[in-house]
Structure 1
Amino acid sequence: MPQHTRQSARDGSERAVPGAVAPRPLSAPQPGRRPDRRAVHWWLTQNLLVVVPVLAALAALALLPDAPAWLWLVFAVLCPLGVGYALLTPWYRYRVHRWEASTEAVCATSGWLTREWRVVPFTRIQTLDTERGPLMQLFGLSAVTVTTASAAGPVTIVGLDKDLATALVQDLTERVRALHEDGT
């Protein structure tokens, strides 16, 4: 049975082109793999390292002899907001962040208010990097960054076990190298 694809005419209408081959859709992986569970503790520690000093500085300012009384009101409002942010957002991030590597592409989802789903075909990968900051090392975690020439920037998968991240980068490097050796 002949295949037909649709082409847009200049007037905006579409017409079928007999014999033309429809483009094969990329089998984009459905991101189903979560970050390592230790990522929750890593994100929590990051949040506390920001929130606690800010609240402590605000409380210290409010305790000064000539401090305005409204500083206590600001502290009373920011304290539950900051603590709530520090304690709840790591679990939200863990629930939202996903990643997957299929035989043709790497896929990652992330986001706070708006969720972003990025798919990087192996043919577009330029560099693969791993990152392990001091806190990540403390929790045995790594991040993998997949860089392309896209204007949207790199895709970063955070909160991976360090051994899994190393194996992922090695596997992706071999797959990309095999594609380029094929001449494609």
Structure 2
Amino acid sequence: MTGENAVRLRPPKNALNERAIGWWRTQLLLSTFIPAVVLAVLGALIEPTRMWLLAAAAAVTVAGLVGTAFFPGWWYRVHRWEVTDDAVYVRTGFVWQEWRIAPMSRIQTVDTVRGPLEQAFRLATVTVTTASAKGALTLQGLDHEVAADLAERLTRITQATPGDAT
């Protein structure tokens, strides 16, 4: 298609909630802290490999802290989502960008999940399951009230949309 009738894919307009940055940082710190502590304890207990285990603990800690400082802000800048009356749009990634579009007629289920850390940050994840081999669309890092409203809205729209979602 060219000219006036060309359809141009535009970035989805909604950012995640800013609290997602803290949520991601906490997840990364926890996933760094546990292996680093295990390696440090083993290093303290096992004499012949002490130096290597403590060096590994230090490397895991440094890599985890660098990742914690860098990645959550980056993820926040590149993750976008939008829901229209026709489809759900999700864009993730920077180096390998993924754009997912799920037409309302293809949506089968809408789930809202709030794990313990998400609850602490007043966030939620909305999963939109479609009749696609690619799998569900996931919107992480949404304010829990926005997520509840979104799930309700998607349910209303999909019920009113003709089609059998297969």
Q: Same fold (TM over 0.5)?
A: yes
SS in 2 for 1:36: coil
- More moved, 73-82 vs 24-33: 24-33
SS of the residue corresponding to residue 126 of structure 1 reads strand
TM-score by length of 2: 0.85
Which structure 2 residues correspond to residues 22-171 of structure 1 after superposition, within 5 A?
Answer: 30-64=11-45, 66-68=47-49, 69-111=51-93, 113-171=95-153
C-alpha spacing 1:29/1:129, structure 2 compared with 1 (3 Å): farther
Task: Report Cα offsets for 1:108-165 as digits up to 9, x if no partner.
Answer: 0123642211001111111111111111111111111111110000001011111111
Root mean square deviation, CA, Å = 2.3
Is contact 1:29-1:102 (8 Å) kept?
Answer: no
1:175 alignment partner in structure 2: 157
More helix by share: 2
CA deviation string 1:64-95 (max 9, x = no partner): 36142233333343321121122322112111
Contact 1:31/1:109 (<8 A) preserved: yes
**Larger-gyration structure (1/2):** 1
SS of the residue corresponding to residue 127 of structure 1 reads strand
Q: CA deviation at 1:36?
A: 0.4
What TM-score, normalized to structure 1? 0.77
Identity within the alignment, %: 40
Contact 2:32 2:60 in 1 (8 A): no
Q: Which runs of 5+ in 1 are unaligned?
A: 6-23
Partner Cα separation in structure 1 for residue 57 and residue 27 of structure 2:
21
Quote the offset at 1:103 in angstroms.
2.4
Count of aligned positions: 159
